[in-house]
Amino acid sequence: MVSAPAAHTTVEGSSLSVREVSKAFPTPNHAELRTQALDAVSLSVNAGELISLLGPSGCGKSTLLRLISGLDHPDSGELWVGNEPITGPSAERGLVFQDPNLFPWLTVRRNIEAGLVARGLLHEKRGEVDDFMRLVGLAEFANAFPHHLSGGMAQRVALARALINHPKVLLLDEPLGALDAFTRMRMQDEVLRLWEARGTTMLFVTHDIDEAIYMSDRIVLMTPRPGLIERIIDVTLDRPRQRSSQEFLRLRGDILELLHFSGHP
Amino acid sequence: MNALSDVKDQANSPATGSQPPAAAVASAPSPSRLPARTYLAIPAATLFALALHWLVSRKELPAETEIYFQFLGLVLGASVVISVIQPFWTALRKWMKEMSPVIAAAVLVLSVGEFVTAGLRLLELSWLNAPPMPYFPSPAGVLLSLVSDRALIFDSTWHSLLLLTEGYLLGVATGVTSGICIGWFPAARYWGMPLMKLVGPIPATALIPLAMVLSPSTKFSAMGLIALAVWFPVTMLTASGISNTRASYLDVAKTLGANRSYLIFRVAIPAAMPNIFVGLFMGLSASFLTLVVAETVGVKSGLGWYVSWASGWAEYGKVYAALVIMSAFFSTIMTVLFKVRDRVLVWQKGTIKW
């Protein structure tokens, strides 16, 4: 088995194209200065691909994700999903944060339904809610409120909530960053399972090299100030990947070396 | 290797990966038997009150004594019945464990009241400044006033309830609406905030003379004043709750396909609910104050009117009786609002179990 989108049973995902995108923010306390978060960044993602954006903090990976989600707009450049330009937020592009951001006033079930309610589709697609709750293993917590959930469970609800809209692109901003090491590894498998089942195009922001190698088809290595793509690394290891295999460790060494020689801390 | 991964899987599976709700752990099994001091506290306190009353009430009105004996007898009878049946009724036992000390203390407080009024008058301890009769009736006297004037007191309570409900609901409706507008729409904030800052802090009671002139009926103006008193805190708290909605909730909703009405009604308003309820409580206190003042100076009905009317006739037994009813009335309304809040904010309290 090769690490290719062909492994999916279905491909719901859509290709994504980032063209010469720049974004600057005002520097705190210095209104006249602007920090260049992204400087003419271009990236092309195939339908059903899982891409990691890897880099130290401040390299613009979260900014890039917000631009793709449509919550922010670029200063210059274009973003396209399939054949359509991105003009604003849409249910086609789901977003999962490090903090699950579940609506605390809604039960697990109602959180997962939120996307259907927002689009007025709850009535037709109610049956899917159960499927998604089963998919993330939360069927028996349907009526629990978010504050009763552990971090890993809350993040699973957040994933189900984003996936219920069948997004073409799922954007994950360090979704596992707040979890302990064991929950984290289990959740990596969980995300991979969801990805393989649905063929959603995924962009996965992380600062964990192991996570990036374990999960992605390609790793986009970014450097800060200004945010640039340093290099794109193809990960050709077979899936499921062995975290302690020779190839895995060799690639890990290469990336560490690359980060070290790139001259940025 | 396999064994290792199995353990990991189990440790993180949904069934065991959750934290148990704190409430489920905290509830200890209730005791099957109550200590004697718990179920005998109320009968003992009541017997003491009866004995004291018998000792000090010789010079008080016979009608007062009769009704007070009936009242204490009723309390004694009920407490004895409850003490006898509590071993067979778990819910009652729990209630007694909780309430017995405070009810017994309340009966003893009545006795203290009885002693400093009727008792000191009987002993003719003028050097102790025994309180004069008309201003300080004994608890028995208050009870007699309450019972004998019950029709008018009930009618007054009913009118207060009507006026309070109309004014409060009007204030809440306008306050929540204007709060949502000010909190969400920048234009409403720009034009609304100066008005709020100027009009809001004026105590509604200061506007009573103006309102009486402006409005054809005192009822109507009183309702408007109560609504105004409620409107200000409700608007302020609602607006701040709406504008402080976590940006990430709104971001998530947008990426789920939410339109503006979803963002307002299904994200911002629920997120602001805890704040809105703070405003509702502040508004309720303000409405009590405004109600009583408006009834005292203008409206010719209600408990506020009754108190000033009775004190005008120097019938202080009725004044205290009305105050007792007022306390029960306002405290019941507060309790209702607390219950509503507990229900609406069940997600926040975290007492729900599944």
By the 8 A CB rule, do B152 and B306 touch? yes
> Do residues B185 and B317 both lie within one domain?
yes
Q: Is B2 domain-assigned? A: no
User: B85-113 pLDDT, tens per residue?
Assistant: 888 888 888 888 888 999 999 999 999 98
Domain count of chain B? 2
> Do residues B94 and B196 both lie within one domain?
no
B298: nearest Cα among B199, B212, B197: B212
CA distances from B98 to B24, B30, B48, B72, B335 (A): 20, 11, 22, 21, 18
Give the one of A143, A171, A183 whose C-beta lies nearest to B354's C-beta.
A143
Question: How far apart are the C-alpha atoms of B141 and B122, rounded to whole Å?
Answer: 15
The alpha carbon of residue A101 is apart from the nearest alpha carbon of chain B, in Å, by 6
- Among B136, B159, B193, which residue terminates a domain? B136
A152: nearest Cα among A205, A208, A198, A102: A102
Q: Is B286 domain-assigned? A: yes
> Do residues B184 and B51 both lie within one domain?
no
Domain assignment of residue B240, given as a range: 150-349
Q: Cβ atoms within 10 A of the Cβ of A135, count?
A: 20
Query: B211-231: buried (b, 16+ CB within 10 Å) or exposed (e) per residue?
Result: bbeeeeebbebbbbbbbbbbb
CATH number of residue B215's parent domain: 1.10.3720.10
Contact: A91, B13; criterion CB under 8 Å: no
Q: Is B21 domain-assigned? A: no
Q: Is B13 domain-assigned? A: no
User: A24-79 pLDDT, tens per residue?
Assistant: 888 777 777 788 888 888 999 999 899 999 988 778 888 999 999 999 999 999 99
A108: nearest Cα among A67, A73, A137: A137
Spacing of C-alpha B317 from chain mean position: 24
- pLDDT number for residue B247: 93
Residue of B10 and B178 predicted with greater confidence: B178
- pLDDT number for residue A8: 65
DSSP letter for each residue of B89-115 = -HHHHHHHHHHHHHHHHHHHHHHHHHI
Q: Is B14 domain-assigned? A: no
Binning pLDDT at 50, 70 and 90, where does residue B309 land?
very high
Interface test with A, best of B10, B246, B256, B342 (most A CBs within 10 A): B256
Residue B222 φ then ψ, to 5°:
-65, -40
CATH of A5-259, one of 2.60.40.10, 3.40.50.300, 3.10.310.30, 1.10.287.3510: 3.40.50.300
Q: Is B96 domain-assigned? A: yes
Spacing of C-alpha A38 from chain mean position: 18
Q: Count H helices, E strands: chain A?
A: 7, 10
- pLDDT number for residue B284: 95
- pLDDT number for residue B322: 92
Mean pLDDT is lowest, of A73-77, A192-196, B28-32, for B28-32
Contact: B13, A137; criterion CB under 8 Å: yes
Interface test with A, best of B246, B255, B260 (most A CBs within 10 A): B255
Instruction: Flag whether pLDDT at A5 surpasses 60.
Output: no
pLDDT, mean over chain A: 86
Is A154 in CB contact (< 8 Å) with chain B?
no
| Beta partners for residue A234, in sequence order | A218
Instruction: Flag whether pLDDT at B27 surpasses 80.
Output: no
Contact: A118, B257; criterion CB under 8 Å: yes
Query: A193-216: buried (b, 16+ CB within 10 Å) or exposed (e) per residue?
Result: ebbbebbbbbbbbbebbbbbbbbb
Task: Report the predicted TM-score, pTM, of the whole model to 2 decimal places.
Answer: 0.82
B49: nearest Cα among B107, B120, B105: B107
The Cα diameter of chain B in Å comes to 93
Instruction: Flag whether pLDDT at B3 surpasses 50.
Output: no
- Residues contacting residue B90 through CB under 8 Å, at least 6 positions apart: B30
DSSP B31: P
The alpha carbon of residue B351 is apart from the nearest alpha carbon of chain A, in Å, by 10
- When pLDDT is averaged across residues B124-136 and rounded to a whole number, the result is 64
Is A69 in CB contact (< 8 Å) with chain B?
yes
- When pLDDT is averaged across residues A169-198 and rounded to a whole number, the result is 87
By the 8 A CB rule, do B335 and B327 touch? no
**Where are the extended beta strands (E) located within chain A?**
16-27, 30-45, 50-54, 76-81, 84-85, 93-96, 169-173, 201-206, 218-223, 228-234
> Do residues B217 and B94 both lie within one domain?
no
Three-state DSSP at B228 gives helix
Question: Considering only CB atoms, which chain A residues are within 8 Å of B256?
Answer: 91, 94, 114-115, 118-119, 161-162, 165
Share of chain A above pLDDT 90, in %: 34
> Do residues B125 and B194 both lie within one domain?
no
- pLDDT number for residue B265: 95
Three-state DSSP at B204 gives helix
By the 8 A CB rule, do A156 and A137 touch? yes
Is B257 in CB contact (< 8 Å) with chain A?
yes
> Do residues B225 and B318 both lie within one domain?
yes
User: A237-254 pLDDT, tens per residue?
Assistant: 888 888 888 889 999 888
> Do residues B210 and B132 both lie within one domain?
no
Give the one of B249, B255, B258 whose C-beta lies nearest to A94's C-beta.
B255
Binning pLDDT at 50, 70 and 90, where does residue B259 land?
very high
Q: Is B51 domain-assigned? A: yes
- pLDDT number for residue A260: 66
Q: Is B12 domain-assigned? A: no
By the 8 A CB rule, do A129 and A112 touch? yes
User: A98-112 pLDDT, tens per residue?
Assistant: 899 999 999 999 999
Question: How far apart are the C-alpha atoms of B224 and B218, rounded to whole Å?
Answer: 10
Three-state DSSP at A247 gives helix
> Do residues B124 and B201 both lie within one domain?
no
Instruction: Flag whether pLDDT at B292 surpasses 80.
Output: yes
Q: Is B3 exposed, middle or buried (0-12, 13-18, 19+ CB in 10 A)?
A: exposed
By the 8 A CB rule, do A179 and A214 touch? no
> Do residues B199 and B263 both lie within one domain?
yes
Measured N-to-C along each axis, helices A108-118 and A151-163 cross at an angle, to the nearest 10 degrees, of 20
Give the one of A107, A118, A185 whose C-beta lies nearest to B258's C-beta.
A118
Residues in chain B: 354
Output the six-digit token pair for B270: 């629920």
How does strand A76-81 pair with strand A50-54?
Answer: unpaired
The alpha carbon of residue B19 is apart from the nearest alpha carbon of chain A, in Å, by 7
pLDDT, mean over chain B: 85
